[in-house]
Amino acid sequence: MTLTELLASKAALPSIPKVIALLLNELDREEPELVKISQLINTDPVLATRLLQLANSAQFQLSTQISSVSEALALMGLNQVKTLATAAAIAGAFSAIPGMDMRQFWRYSLNTAKLARALGGMVQQNQPAAFTAGLIHATGELVLYLGMPDAMVLLDQQVPALGLKRAGAERKLLGFCYADVGAGFARSWQFPQPIVDALEHQHAPFENNVYEPLAGVLHLAAWRARAWEANYDEQDLIDNFPDIVALALGIDIDMALQQDPIDWTTKAEVAVLAKT
């Protein structure tokens, strides 16, 4: 199956829920309307509940209970709402994938998003966009599992789904990898072009006269998160550090490792996302 055929497959490429699509489009406007955003969220009970859970979570340390979507919006800000809506869209579209450990996948994706946000701040990239890109950067892998399950079985025998050499193995076998698929996926869902470009070039952000700093941020963040999943020790990290990408961004290994999340993603965070 070619990349074009895969992206044209309705079975492999789920549609985004209409309310989420409308919400993301509104959030992408230069001056989003808070009333419209509140109305859209209230039409999706799962999303509204998740928003209230987040607003009342320990991170805001409030003395009073937030009980309405409008109050939650005022507290959290639109960037957090956009991240939540993105997570809801992705998690809802890919609730269970045969052959993929979804809890591990969401843990890895959240860790990559946190790292991308931190690294993005170091190199003057938009941090909310970096977080969103990190959160969805590996969705192409899920599309591959849905659309090409037999090929994924072969690949799993060679390299784990979240292994550092997975993209190279996919390109060798298929002629494309999860980054290409993820970009097509994001394009079909009308994500902002900078995020689409970052997803497309994340595997090789500075090759063939391409210069995509956000893709470089994704590359470094995914390297660190995958190394964490593989329990790499200090020497493993040194041996596998993507120094060419890091050099282009002006980051060395010590700077990269200093951006590790204070708290890696917890089971509770994964459970909430999986329920979204």
Task: Tell me the CATH number for domain 3-14+96-275.
Answer: 1.10.3210.10
Residue 229's pLDDT is 94
pLDDT tens-place values along the chain, 276 residues long:
899 999 888 777 777 777 887 887 888 788 889 899 999 888 888 788 878 877 777 666 677 888 888 888 888 888 778 877 777 777 777 777 888 998 899 899 989 999 999 999 999 998 888 988 998 999 999 999 999 999 999 999 999 999 999 999 999 999 999 999 999 988 887 787 888 999 999 999 988 787 889 999 999 999 999 999 999 999 999 999 999 999 999 999 999 998 887 678 777 677 666 654
The pLDDT assigned to 171 comes to 95
Residue 272, pLDDT score: 60
The pLDDT value recorded for residue 276 is: 46
Q: Are 146 and 11 contacting, i.e. CB atoms less than 8 angstroms apart? A: yes
pLDDT value at residue 234: 92
Secondary structure of the chain as H, E, C letters:
CCHHHHHHCCCCCCCCCHHHHHHHHHHCCCCCCHHHHHHHHHCCHHHHHHHHHHHCCHHHCCCCCCCCHHHHHHHHCHHHHHHHHHHHHHHHHCCCCCCCCHHHHHHHHHHHHHHHHHHHHHCCCCHHHHHHHHHHCCHHHHHHHHHCHHHHHHHHHHCCCCCCCHHHHHHHHHCCCHHHHHHHHHHHCCCCHHHHHHHHHCCCCCCCCCCCHHHHHHHHHHHHHHHHHCCCCHHHHHHHCCHHHHHHHCCCHHHHHCCCCCCCCCHHHHHHHHHC
How many other β-carbons are positioned within 10 Å of the β-carbon of residue 193? 10
Q: pTM, whole model, 2 decimals? A: 0.83
* Beta-carbon count within 10 A of 43 CB: 12
